Structure 1
C-alpha cells in the first residue's frame, strides 16, 4: 500500500506544472491589467501595457460576428465609468519564446456584480526593460458557451 501511495504521489508531482519566473511575471502583468479595469486605475494600466498597443474585440452576441480595433491610448479615456466592472480569469495558458509571450485566458465579465458576458482574452506580451508588458489584447465577447470556457481543457 505504501508503494502505491508513493507511486501515485510521484506521478502527480511529475505531471504538475510549476510556474517559471517568467510565467509568474506574465500572470502578474495580466492580473494587474484586470485590476486596472476593476479599479479604473489609468496609472496602473499605463504600467502594464505599451500605450500604442492594440485591442481587438470580436463580438459574437448577435447572429453576425462583429469586430473592431482601438489602441490602449484611446481606451484609457474610456476606463473611467459609472459602472463597476470585474473580469474573472478561469486559467492562464502561457507560451514564451525569446522575449515574446502569448497568454490564452478564458474569462467571465461582470458589470455591477452581474454577469455580462464571457469569452477568451489573448494577450501578446514583450519583455522590455526587465518587465513583461502587454502589446496586444484580443478578446471575444460571448453570452453562450460560458460553462464550456470554464472547464479546464
Structure 2
C-alpha cells in the first residue's frame, strides 16, 4: 500500500511537470512568433478572445492601457524591416489549476540590442481541446535608465 501511494504521488508530479513544460512552451512559441514578426505563429497559441493590457509606469504616474487584439497583430506590419527587438524572459513561475494556468515572466525588452524597458508579463492560459491558449496577457513596463 505504501509503495502504491508513493507511485501515485510520483505520477501526479510527472503530470504537473509535463503541464508546466507545455505552458512554458506555449509562452516560448508566442515569443518566437513575436520576435519573427510572425502573427500566424502568435495566433497559434492565443485564444480568439484574448485580452491584452499594459500597466505603464512613469514619471507622470501609472496608467492602465488596453489594446485590441486585432491592433496588436496589425502592429507587426508597421515595424521597419531592420528593426530588431527582443523580449528576454528572465524566469518562469507557473501555476496550474485544472484547465486554467498562470505564467509570471519577468523580462527585459531590447530594441536593436539596447535595453528599452523591463517589467513582468502575467499570462493567463486556458486548456482547450488539449492545447494551452493564452486568454489574457497583462504586462508592466518601466523605462530602463541604462
Task: Provide the TM-score with structure 2 as the length reference.
Answer: 0.82
SS, match of residue 20 in structure 2: helix
In the alignment, structure 1 residue 67 sits paired with structure 2 residue 64:
yes
More strand by share: 2
Select which of 18, 21, 26 maps to 2:23.
Answer: 26
Select which of 29, 36, 40 maps to 2:37.
Answer: 40
Give ranges in structure 1 of 5+ residues lacking alignment.
1-16, 147-153
TM-superposed CA distance for 1:142, in Å, is 0.8
> Aligned pairs, how many?
130
TM-superposed CA distance for 1:121, in Å, is 0.2
- Provide the residue aligned with 2:87 in structure 1: 87
Structure 1 consecutive aligned stretches of length 4 or more whose deviation exceeds 6 Å:
none
Q: How do 1:1-153 and structure 2 match up within 5 A? A: 20-80=17-77, 81-82=79-80, 83-143=83-143
Structure 2 distance, partners of 1:78, 1:52, is 18
- 1:14-71 CA-to-partner distances (Å, cap 9, x unmatched) read xxx9871110010001011111111000100110101321111011123311221123
- Provide the residue aligned with 1:5 in structure 2: none
